[in-house]
Amino acid sequence: MAQIISNTLFLQVISCNKNICTLQITDTTGSHQFPAMQRLSITKGHAFILVYSVCSKQSLEELRPIWNLIKELKPNISEIPVMLVGNKCDESAELREVSTAEGSTEASLMGVSFMETSAKTNHNVTELFQ
């Protein structure tokens, strides 16, 4: 059963490799207002999904300081699953500010996996969490 704790925290019990796990998703958008909360979420995190909008180059650029903080707080980052995700891939080409190739290149530079999703159409959402 899924449970929304606040507008920035989502909990769900899932089966993961035949084990029961609690999936906690913390939305760090706007967390610059609460840096201690962001640091705590990163410190406790076991996997990270860095999401930007393909319609906003700025949203991709805003992930860089968060990524740097994750690397600072997680010295074993190479052992932790991390995905860079371009959301809104259902939008028309003329609205795009970040191409698939640019997103993929950024992920390669970061040393993380990459995919594009659409929360609106549910494209690749299940695959992302698997």
pLDDT in tens, 76-128: 888 888 899 999 999 988 999 999 999 999 999 999 999 999 989 989 888 88
Summarize pLDDT for 21-75 with one digit per residue, the tens.
776 676 666 545 567 777 887 888 888 889 999 999 999 998 898 899 999 998 8
Residue 78 lies in a domain: yes
Q: What is the 3-state secondary structure (H, E, C) of 103-123?
A: HHHHHHHHCCEEEECECCCCE
Indicate the number of domains in the chain.
1
CA angle (60 as vertex; 84, 45 as ends), nearest 5? 45
Instruction: Please list, in sequence order, all residues whose beta carbon lies within 8 angstroms of the beta carbon of residue 102, skipping any fewer than 6 positions away.
Output: 60
Q: What is the mean pLDDT of residues 11-22?
A: 70
End-to-end, the C-alpha distance of the chain in Å comes to: 18
Domain range for 42: 34-129
CATH value at residue 64? 3.40.50.300
